[in-house]
Every structure is written in structure tokens, then in C-alpha cells.
Structure 1
Amino acid sequence: MFAARPQPMTYRLVASLLEYPDAPLIEAVHELRAMVRSERAFGAEARGKLERFLDYLDSRDLLALQENYVALFDRGRATSLHLFEHVHGESRDRGQAMIDLVQTYEKHGMLLQPGQLPDYLPVFLEYLSILETSEARALLGETVAILQSITQELSRRNSHYAYVTGALLPLAGAGGTDLPEAAHDDDAGKPHDKEHLRALDAAWADEPVQFMGAERPAAVPSLAPVAFHPRRASR
């Protein structure tokens, strides 16, 4: 299934690509490109897609990248990178799940920085990077349904970020999904049409999603306004 076993750097690489874009990330594009080319946990096609994502980072000014990121990830649950958004929505259960996840991190010696939320996918991937290989793969496998849902919606919006979340699917033990042939993130954050929103609502209610022992309520709406990630408040 894997070209090679994912190593700690595999998860850290993907985590860095999914972070809110800032100047240090853009300055590291060439270094990240070298890492992608040498990362054998990804197949050749996935590496090519990740290079296209890096081309995107390298071809936009920072403000455009940041605006696209916020429009894509911070204004609807369908593409949220907060895993428990897809499990609990805005219910009270999410708070306890977050506490439990923080405690799990702390047991492994991982302390969050001020403002970090534990269910943020890049943070979760950093956690996987400190686990044993088999444990990390098993835990990532629990997120398959969430990752597939996010990737499918990113692909529908023709976002380059679909290449990044899509690269995680084989690592999580899932098959690939259709990815954009011509990604164009400047349009990815545009509002949904009503018909698509209704379809997402129906899909959201079909099957409960389980992740780390938590189960999503069956009737949580697919899309709802969500707060910006606290770490971005000062940017």
C-alpha cells in the first residue's frame, strides 16, 4: 500500500503544508520541495501533486494565500481542519473531547502552544510524528472518513489543498479519490450553491463518523460558521 513506511518527518511535512501560510512557510518552499521529492512514503503521483501545491504557494503573494486559506477553511464545516467539527459539530461533547485529546497529547510529552486547538489537523499530525509507526498509522486510519470528506469537498472546489489532504489517504489505509486536474484556489472559497448545500446536509446525516472513541451526532448540519483559529488572531 505504501511506497515506504511513513516516518515522523512524513507527518510533519504534511502538517507544515496545511498550516496557515506565513512568511517562514513561503521562505521554506524550496526546502519543502526537496523533502517532497525524497519522501518515499508517498507514491510518485502524490509527490507530483504535492509539488503542484508548492508551485501554488510559490506563485501567489502572501496576502492572497492567506485570504484563500481563510475563505477555504474557516467559513464552513465541510472543509474544516478541526477534526472534531466533523464529529461533534458545535455540541458540548466537543469540549470534553478536546480535553481528552489534550490529556492524550500530554501523556506523550506533547504540550500545545498558547492558542493551539488539539483537534486541528496539523497539530494532530505533529502528534502522530512522535508515535511508533504502527500506532501512528492506526490512529490516522481512524480519521479516514473525515479525510475523505474534506478531500472530496476541496476537490469539488478545485483547491490545491486537495493534493495535500489527498496525500494522507493512502497513509491512512484508504484508496485515492479524484483530485482536481486544474486547481484554482482563487475561486475555491466562493459560496456554495443551495443544491450542493442540501446534498452536503443529506450526506452528513447518513452515517455517524467515529474518531478516537467519539461519535458524531447523526443530524449535525454539514456547514455552519466557525470561529477563526485562535493562532491567527494576531496576524
Structure 2
Amino acid sequence: MKMTLKTISALLCYPSEDVQAAIPELQAAVASEKALPKEAEEALSGLLKEYATGDIYDLQERYVLLFDRTRSLSLHLFEHVHGESRDRGQAMVDLAQLYEKHGLAVSANELPDFMPLFLEFLSAIPSAEARQHLSETVHILEAIRQRLEKRQSAYASAFSALQALSREQPDKDVLNAILSVPDDDPNDLAALDAAWIDEEVKFGPGADTTCDTEGLAAKIRAGRRPAPGMESPPQRRPVVAHSPSNRA
């Protein structure tokens, strides 16, 4: 299960030539581990082959359109269940503390709920505990899978594989609540800007200095940085700092 989680984590990071070169090793690791049912493994193999043979710039453009410019496909877990609610800030803190409890330090530039980072964490803990934490996200995984499948995206196989690893079925009520949120059109730039607009930050006399988790969520979203060695494209979100090339 460990290597399969690492492989999916690498696939869900911003595409890089390092990961592209490591695809044969990643595919071999998944095959040798045999953590997935045959159907799920074959589907994931299709994504791996598409990644290995695709033009890197096309892969990067596709990634941005899907995961950076489409909020309903966000790779930040809490976006789907907490949105702008006050619970999101505390959920971030709780997840960061869980990582720290297991000896994983998270950079100030990284969000704890970024899925590749979450999967990297799961790969570093015992499988039973990893499966338990993964099962708590299965309704999010299924919602993203359905939306990717509607777009005929090979990335849907990554989310099918994660559900197979969790061995859980999504809660229908929670899943329907997530799917009830409109599915974004990444080409509708006006709607995109409206969805991601950040609140004005005020300083000085009269400014609200209380700890507001809604404001914190907006500031977290604004903390974007480029992937290593790459310019940051518009609307980029944070990328995990660990090196995908060391995953296999």
C-alpha cells in the first residue's frame, strides 16, 4: 500500500520531467505491491502511460485547468467539506498536529490538506491507520472521481484507486451534498475570479484583530508559490515540497 500511495501522490503533483522519467519505476512498484484490485490497477496504469508519453507542457496545462482553475476539483480536501466556514481553520490545525504527532513537519508554504502531502503522510504510517484516515475522505474522492470521469480524464483512475485502498464506500448524503455544489467551468474566467476573490486585509486602528478562521482560509488560499524550477502559472496553488523523483 505504501508505494501505491506514493505513486498516486506523485501523479497528483504538478507534472514534472523528473516524475515523467520515473514512471516505469512507479508502475513497477504498484504492480509488485499488488495493493489494488486488478481493474483499479489497470486503470491507474493507463494514467501512468499517458503521463509517460505525453508532452510535459501539455500535461502541465491540463493539470492547471483541472486542479488549479476548477474549484470543484480542488486537491485541497477541506475545500469540499468546509469551504469558507469557521471549521476549516481548526481542521487545518488538527491535521497539521496529526502530521507532527507522526514526525512530519509541514513547511509554512504548504497546506496540510493538499492531497499529495496527505497521501505522502499516509504512506509513512502503518497501513491500518493509513486506511482509516483515507476512508474518512472517501466521499471527497468519489465526488472528484465523478467530475473527472465526466470530463473523460484519466486522472479519475487515481481517485478510483484511492477508494479501493480505503475499502470504504462513500456516505451518500455527504457525497450528494458535495456534488450539489456547481461544477466549475475553468474557461469562465469571470466566474473563476469571483469564486477565488480574497477579502481586503485591513491594518491599523479599527482593524479587526480577532482570530477569524474565515479570514485565515482566505489568506491560506492566497499563499501560492511556484513548483520547484517552474514559474507560477495564474491561479496556482501551493505544491508539496518533497521531491517526487524519490518516491519509488
TM-score band by shorter chain is 0.7 to 0.9
* 1:168 equivalent among 152, 162, 182: 162
Question: C-alpha displacement at 1:232, in angstroms?
Answer: 2.9
Contact 2:3–2:30 (8 Å) recurs in 1? no
Query: Partner letter of residue 132 of structure 1?
Result: P
Deviation, 1:207, is 3.7
- Confirm or deny: 8 A CA contact 2:76 2:114 kept in the other structure: yes
In the alignment, structure 1 residue 47 sits paired with structure 2 residue 41: yes
Gaps of at least 5 residues in structure 1 are 1-5, 177-205, 210-215
User: 107-116 or 225-234, which moves further after superposition?
Assistant: 225-234
Partner of 1:188: none
- Displacement of 1:110 after TM fit? 0.3
User: Residues 17-32 of structure 1: matches in 2 within 5 Å?
Assistant: 17-32=11-26
Higher relative contact order (CA 8 A, sep 6+): 2
Counterpart CA distance in 2 for 1:228 and 1:73 is 15
After TM superposition, list the pairs within 5 Å mapping 1:105-124 onto structure 2.
Answer: 105-124=99-118
Matches within 5 A, 1:124-163: 124-163=118-157
Q: CA deviation at 1:111?
A: 0.8
Aligned to 1:180: none
**1:156 positional shift:** 0.5
Runs of 4+ in 1 over 4 A off after TM superposition: 219-224, 226-229
Within 2, Cα distance between the matches of 1:229 and 1:23? Answer: 25
Gap change, CA 1:68 and 1:149, over 3 Å in 2:
same
Superposed CA deviations along residues 91-136 of structure 1, whole A, max 9, x for unmatched, are 3432222122111111110012352211011111111122222111
**AA of the residue aligned to 2:36:** F
Q: Distance in 1 between matches of 2:101 and 2:116?
A: 19
Partner SS for 1:110: coil
Partner in structure 2 of residue 89 of structure 1 = 83
Q: TM-score when scaled to structure 2?
A: 0.70
Q: Which has the larger radius of gyration?
A: 2
Could you tell me how far apart the structure 1 residues matched to 2:71 and 2:164 are? 23
- Aligned match for 1:101, one of 81, 95, 99: 95
Partner of 2:66: 72
Look up the equivalent residue of 2:73 and give its one-letter code.
Answer: T
- Judging changes above 3 Å, is the alpha-carbon distance between structure 1 residues 135 and 121 closer, same or farther for their aligned structure 2 residues? same
SS in 2 for 1:124: helix
Structure 2 Cα separation of the partners of residues 173 and 228 of structure 1: 35
Q: Is the 8 A contact 1:74 1:229 kept in 2?
A: no
Across the two proteins, how many residue pairs are aligned to each other?
A: 194
Q: TM-score, normalised by structure 1?
A: 0.73
State the alpha-carbon separation in 2 of the partners of residues 175 and 208 from structure 1. Answer: 11
Q: CA RMSD in A?
A: 2.7
Distance in 2 of aligned mates of 1:34 and 1:228: 38
The answer as to whether partners of 1:83 and 1:119 remain within 8 angstroms in 2 is yes
CA distance in 2, matches of 1:32, 1:129: 14
